Amino acid sequence: MTISAVQAATTGTTQSRDGAKLSADFDGFLKLLTTQLQTQDPLSPMDAEQFTSQLVQFSAVEQAIQTNTQLKSLVGLMQATQHTAALQYVGATVELDSAKIHLPLGGEAPVAYTLAAPAAVVGIDIVDDAGLTVRRLSGPTGDGPQQVTWNGVDDDRRGRPAGTYGVRIEAFDAAGRPVPVSQTSTGKVDALLQTQEGLVLSVDGRSYPLDAVRAVRPAA
């Protein structure tokens, strides 16, 4: 559900640069063709096949400029639509998929889960987009809702970049038997935030990606 602000900014910059290049190519081609027509020998005009080929190139550049402009407008429309849709979350109670967390720039990320019974050990893996574990944490072992906070530092004591990360949680009792874990949490959306990584929801003061929302209960 989320569109990355960094990706949007990069896309916008690339589109502007490409659009400027296409416009320059178009203007240059038009001047070249006009000059060629003005200076050609009336007794030996440009070959019809060559002239047609140049007109085809002229049309292709013009079409590329129009397509670039339309794509830029479409991206802007999609971003505005996403903002409008996300505003409906403010004030609502949401159920969040805690298998996805948002690490803000220079901040911390909450990891919420619920144990069906007391456990002897709870292991929490923070994973990147490739599914590789970047940090291994231990969590509270009591039954019911629990929460830990990841400070954004990996197992090599390096700060990780802001963005969305995955979470894998395993819990075992004293006999080594698995304890059921529910990786969901609920909270009230108090704000919609625009970050460098895109739109995120502030839920009870904590940031979550939009695609972590599993259910919404509108404000009374």
| Domain coordinates in residue numbering, the chain | 5-88, 91-217
Q: Cα–Cα distance between 10 and 132 in angstroms, integer?
A: 26
Residue 137 bridge partners (DSSP): 124
Residues 61-101: tens digit of each pLDDT: 666 666 666 566 555 444 555 666 667 788 888 888 888 88
* Statement: the pTM of the whole predicted model exceeds 0.75: no
Residue 14 has pLDDT above 70, yes or no: no
Query: Distance of alpha carbon 88 from its chain centroid, rounded?
Result: 19
Cβ contacts of residue 187 below 8 Å, gap of 6+? Answer: 93, 94, 96, 203, 204, 206
For residue 140, the one-letter residue type is: P
Cβ–Cβ under 8 Å, residues 206 and 100: no
- Do 164 and 176 meet the contact criterion of CB atoms below 8 Å apart? no
In this predicted structure, the answer to whether residue 134 has a pLDDT above a threshold of 80 is: yes
Q: Is 173 helix (H, G, I), strand (E, B) or coil?
A: coil
Q: Looking at residue 15, what is its pLDDT? A: 46
- Using the predicted structure, report yes or no on whether residue 198 has a pLDDT greater than 70: yes
d(CA 170, CA 68): 48
* 210, pLDDT greater than 90: no
Q: What is the pLDDT of residue 213?
A: 84
Q: What is the pLDDT of residue 65?
A: 61
Highest mean pLDDT among 18-22, 49-53, 66-70, 191-195: 191-195
pLDDT at 189 over 60: yes
- Position 152 scores a pLDDT of 95
Read off the pLDDT band of 47 (50, 70, 90).
low
Tell me, which fold does domain 91-217 have in CATH?
A: Immunoglobulin-like (2.60.40)
> What's the residue count for the chain?
220
Q: What is residue 6's predicted lDDT score, i.e. its pLDDT?
A: 32
Residue 72: predicted pLDDT: 60
Does residue 219 contact residue 91 with C-beta atoms inside 8 Å? yes
Side-chain-side CA neighbours of residue 190 (13 Å): 7
What CA–CA distances, in Å, run from 85 to 77, 121, 127?
A: 12, 40, 29
Where do we find the tokens 């304890």? Answer: 179
Residue 5 exposure: Cα atoms within 13 Å on the Cβ side: 14
3-state secondary structure of 197: coil
